[in-house]
Amino acid sequence: MSSARVETAAVVKADAYGLGIAPVARALQKAGARSFFVATAEETPALRQAVGNGADLYVFSGFMPTDAEIYRATGAIPCLNSAAQVSHFSQQTGMGRCAIQIDSGMNRLGMEPEEYAALSERIAGLNPVLTLSHLACADEPEHPQNTAQLEVFSATAEGRRSLAATGGTLLGAPYHFDMTRPGIGLYGGLPFADARPVVRLSLPVIQTREVMPGEAVGYGAAWTAKTPCRIATVSAGYADGLIRAMGNRARLWAGDTPCPLAGRVSMDLLTVDVSHLEHDPDTLDILGPHQSVDDLADAAGTIGYEILTSLGARYHRRYIGG
Ligand SMILES: *Cc1c(COP(=O)(O)O)cnc(C)c1O
């Protein structure tokens, strides 16, 4: 969506949004990504191992006093967020490159424009390879804070610049500067409405049983059969990131056929009404072509980002293509 002169970096923080940093970063590298962003220095050793020494690794949280050793080992680039971080970084020896993060209005990370101006000489001495900022409201294209932050960033940031994550990339060329930094859009999530799902989650059915009218299923006996039912018990629960709050609004899928949850989400199990299926299924899908991460997020009252990053460690992960 950006022009040929704009670099597209890839955000792979939080284990590539829960999908597995090594295979995901390698696939993105194969697709052309040369710069990768993570949230913390602790994420960089695994990333460096995955993508090798040719890639640039950036860290949003910048330079914390305990991070020096990791930065020396991985050659990652901290995004310095404050005068204190600039000082800590400058006092270290053998630290390599840095970037500068400006706060253009989100008030979360980065230097205020005045702080940035006051430090301009010291920052110039560090020769930062990138100056970045982050939009708070890019998923709402009409939100006035988008243009406000764009103006602050344009007027403040010097050198090579990056403002846009997924939402900002969709806002158009004025937001692209020299580099875009999409995350969620790479993983099939809103606000990139045209994104294709990249994750399918199939859950094994452990057992299936008949339930008679008046019998209840699950904790709190919160669901009661009105007619004779077949209930499938599926091996995954809120400990696997299937957020308990999704309640009975989420469905599981036997191929193209939706099956409603029956009863509460347990830690390790779901109970699903499969009465209308011709055969008992071996597996049921909770993420796939019929139910995206955003659909499941709606059911749970959250956002696709949280569904992805909650996906637990007990799943067997298979990577196709890339
Ligand atoms: C997480 C993050 C991104 C990526 O955001 P998406 O909305 O997932 O595209 C980019 N920049 C910063 C500073 C971030 O924290």
Q: How many angstroms separate the CA atoms of 19 and 148, rounded? A: 34
Does residue 103 contact residue 79 with C-beta atoms inside 8 Å?
A: no
- Residue 144 scores a pLDDT above 90: yes
Q: Output the pLDDT for position 196.
A: 87
C-alpha distances in Å from residue 79, one per residue of 5, 82, 101: 22, 10, 6
- pTM of this structure: 0.95
- pLDDT above 70 (res 24): yes
Span 152-187, pLDDT tens digits: 999 999 999 999 999 999 999 999 999 999 999 999
Ligand 1, atom nearest to 60 Cα: 13
How is the beta sheet containing 229-234 ordered, strand by strand?
A: 257-260, 251-254, 283-287, 201-211, 229-234, 270-273
User: Ligand 1 centroid vs 1 CA: distance in angstroms?
Assistant: 17
The pick from 181, 192, 305 for probing ligand 1's pocket by mutation, whose C-beta has the most ligand atoms within 8 angstroms, reads: 181
- Tens of pLDDT, residue by residue over 254-305, are 999 999 999 999 999 999 999 999 999 999 999 999 999 999 999 999 999 9
CA of 260 to the centre of ligand 1 (A): 34
Name the binding residues for substrate: 108, 267
Structure tokens of 86? 């600039």
Tokens describing residue 57:
């690794």
Inform me whether the pLDDT recorded for 146 exceeds 70. yes
**Distances 241 to 156, 245, 288, 306 between C-alpha atoms, Å:** 41, 11, 16, 9
User: 58 pLDDT exceeds 90?
Assistant: yes
Q: Which atom of ligand 1 is nearest to the CA of 17?
A: 8
Q: Beta 179-180 vs 283-287: how paired, if at all? A: unpaired
Residue nearest to atom 1 of ligand 1 (CA): 183
Q: Output the pLDDT for position 322.
A: 58
Residue spans of the domains in the chain: they are 7-187, 201-310
Query: Is residue 11 within 6 Å of ligand 1 at its C-beta?
Result: yes
Which of 100, 134, 149, 175 best tests ligand 1's pocket when mutated (most atoms within 8 Å of CB)? 134
Cα separation, 242 vs 240, whole angstroms: 6
Percent of the chain with pLDDT over 70: 100
- pLDDT band for position 248 (cuts 50, 70, 90): confident
Q: How far apart are the first and last CA of the chain?
A: 21
Residue 30: band (very low, low, confident or very high) from pLDDT cuts 50, 70, 90: very high
State which fold the 201-310 domain adopts. Lyase, Ornithine Decarboxylase; Chain A, domain 1 (2.40.37)
Query: How many other C-beta atoms can be found within 10 angstroms of the C-beta atom of residue 78?
Result: 29
pLDDT-derived band at 93, boundaries 50, 70, 90: confident
**Looking at domain 7-187, which CATH architecture does it have?**
Alpha-Beta Barrel (3.20)
d(CA 93, CA 245) in angstroms, rounded, equals 49
Q: What integer best gives the mean pLDDT of the chain?
A: 96
